[in-house]
Amino acid sequence: MTQAGTPTVGVSTVAPAPTLPYRHTDDLFIDGEWTRAAGAGRTVVTNPATGQVWGSVPQASAADLDRAVTAAHRAFTGLGWRDLTPGARGAHLLRFADEIEKRSLAISHTNTWENGSPVAETSRAAGNAASIFRYYASLAGYLEKPDIRRFPDGSAETIVRQDPVGVCALIAPWNYPINLVVAKLAPALMAGCTVVIKPASPTPLSIRLIADAAAAAGIPAGVVNVVTGPGAFGDALVKHPLVAKVAFTGSTPVGRSIASAAGALLRPVTLELGGKSSALVLPDADLDAMARVLIRTCMRNTGQTCYISTRILAPAERYAEIVEMVTSTIEAAPQGDPMDPATVFGPAATESQKQTVLGYIRSGLAEGARATTGGLVAPISEEGSWVTPTVFADVTPGMRIAREEIFGPVLGILPYASLDDAVRIANDTAFGLGGTIFSADEDRALALAGRLDSGSIGLNFFATNHAAPFAGRHDSGLGMEFGPEGLHAYLKPQSVHRRIR
């Protein structure tokens, strides 16, 4: 370690001292203020680039949880948050966005020290979060517009109102601890709901800056609450009697457990879960153009992104050429100090995730895949949770690395003999979250997208659009985020019928 506390690994050791407003804390954000936790337990925060503990947060007790949910319920009921006009709530969201942007550097650095995401990635977190808030604020008029529907015989009409569902439990993962909260928080607040946020255990500190921004923006007390605790605490939050809806991003097994609990309670859920998406490369694809977007499309955030296309389907006649391009592109991308703006690949977010990824690499080698770069070579540092980015060629559809979500810097390249064969391989998965088609003929690619059983498809790139729904199919989740559809996930309709003649 340097005196400033930055990891002495990889491409650079000259990063400046980080801006970390929170390190060791004792408080939870409940009812508009930081209040000391009643629980005695603590969760430590480890820098995955160095393996060193640098922060800690309290583990909330059952009493803390009840205080947070009760505060959210109180802020929702009576003359509360839901009773403001959509325009007034939108104005609050715009101020919230401004306050988040003021905290951009602290959010970036804290995020990077929590999960190892390079600052090239985390420096965009605050701006992206602010843009989500501004998008949902722009839907105020959509909510205020009367929705009146005539009876078929013309004798009466129905006024369709949209009411907020109530208190929402927002449970976040560790890979994008800010934006995957805000994707839920912004539509929930715009709808008129109040929330209790539980961040993932490895990343409990950066979300505190969002709570600070809420307070500075004048969000009323109790509307936004943040509590920290282990997985069992999340289960208690899901089952709290005053929680009306659950929104979760994370693994498919945990999502199934949440869905089961919510189903027993007849409680709506939004679940954004795992993926095993494909990048389908057509024979006419421009490989130079593909190389420029390869990492963001197929290995973004050191492979720790749910929708990335980690299976590359290559036409047999160009297979060797595509393997060479992918291999050289991954090899050329720097792995090292995540505080260095030039770094592309950081460490795995946790030691547990490192071991999971290494297990998949061993599995790929044992089943006959060929590592064209990476594999089980020594990482750049023995300290921290480093895994060398790996590309596998000669992958077949039945291999574990071709079927299971790895969530690390591993790509598999599979050959296909015909377009029908490629579609079959792409759809031969339990997941259905993302996907990409690379082709010089975008009209042909657009037509082909309809044959892929996935919630989102990119043509020659992949990105999410705040104005369009993002939804998984099959084991990739239930419900959707973003767009007006994401807003409706936090609303419940009421039909009021009246005669007009």
Which active-site residues does the annotation give?
272, 306
Token readout for 149 is 């529907």
Distance CA 38, CA 53 (A): 23
Distance CA 183, CA 427 (A): 27
* CB 274 within 8 Å of CB 475: yes
Distance CA 445, CA 423 (A): 12
Interacting residues of 258 by C-beta distance below 8 A, sequence separation 6+? 171, 238, 246, 248, 269, 271
Token readout for 118 is 């390079």
- Look up residue 195 and give its amino acid: V
Distance CA 184, CA 190 (A): 10
Coarse DSSP helix, strand, coil percentages of the chain, rounded to the nearest 5 percent: 40, 20, 40
- Look up residue 375 and give its amino acid: G
Token readout for 122 is 């985390």
Distance CA 432, CA 359 (A): 24
Please state, in angstroms and as integers, the Cα–Cα distance from residue 359 to each residue in 77, 322, 364, 440, following that order: 49, 26, 9, 37
Token readout for 379 is 């990482």
Distance CA 341, CA 475 (A): 35
- Number of other CB atoms surrounding residue 492 within 10 Å: 15
Interacting residues of 408 by C-beta distance below 8 A, sequence separation 6+? 302, 303, 304, 348, 353, 354, 356, 357, 360, 387
Single out the residue of 365, 369, 349 nearest to residue 302, CA to CA: 349
Single out the residue of 177, 205, 159 nearest to residue 56, CA to CA: 205
Distance CA 4, CA 17 (A): 5
Which helix (DSSP H) or strand (DSSP E) does residue 100 occupy? helix 86-102
* CB 339 within 8 Å of CB 6: yes
Distance CA 423, CA 448 (A): 9
Q: What are the backbone angles phi and psi of residue 217, rounded to the nearest 5°?
A: -80, -5
